[in-house]
Structure 1
């Protein structure tokens, strides 16, 4: 009877970003995992962990489903000691419904507000020789490739970056 009650609890939702194929790890982490990979299996088993405190998981594997069906099925083998020394083992099929939810990075990119760092360069003098020299250095060292946007302003230039720390720039 106890295991039949567990079966009712083993239906859940899994959230995936449809743009970058990353999966939500609550409360706000995202991890890239392919369908039927060990990373995805780990994510889904962690979602089931609170409901499986009184049983022992002995095996877990994926059952094949169509990718467009928005379903992921797991085949779980669990054990529980029912009497002194008697162990009951059952196999369950757990179905996860895949829901689309945009991750934070994709949401920012979709909103056209996807910079995390802004470097503002200002010069307060009549001639712009230093800014022109800075522009040549940026082009020479290909630092413009790491920016998402470069916006000129009347007294200088703003550089927008998707990451706070870009490799190669210190």
Structure 2
């Protein structure tokens, strides 16, 4: 391997903070182990960057910068904006991913397999349907109400209109009784 490929990121020009200081800023409230995992590094490698004066290679610096949503120049300590808004969105995205993974880990193996197959077949379209409030209400139905909703699927539109008309009439009659009683 050539010396050029082995060169580490050097600090050119005036620096505001050192690479270890910038890495500590990026780590934030996370543990160093968690940050290393998020960045695809071993803990010992990150620890060397933080405590032993070792500097990351350009490819590692680019990887960390991309994951954290900052520029490699900022990471190297140069006096450029950190783009914290992008970084905050990235941190929030990582946290949301952890919540989703916790939910998936709570499922048994059979449910995970079925979910994986559904996601592979229908992808984001299926997931976005779960965000719809009406669909969430339908998913919460239990017992007879769920059975009734499922039975509507096989009925003709005319029969569904008749049922809805009956429900509306019953609801209006109940409203009249409530007004008289009130």
TM-score, with structure 2 as normaliser: 0.19
Give the helix-richer structure, 1 or 2.
2
Structure having the higher Rg:
2
Give the strand-richer structure, 1 or 2.
1
TM-score, with structure 1 as normaliser: 0.19
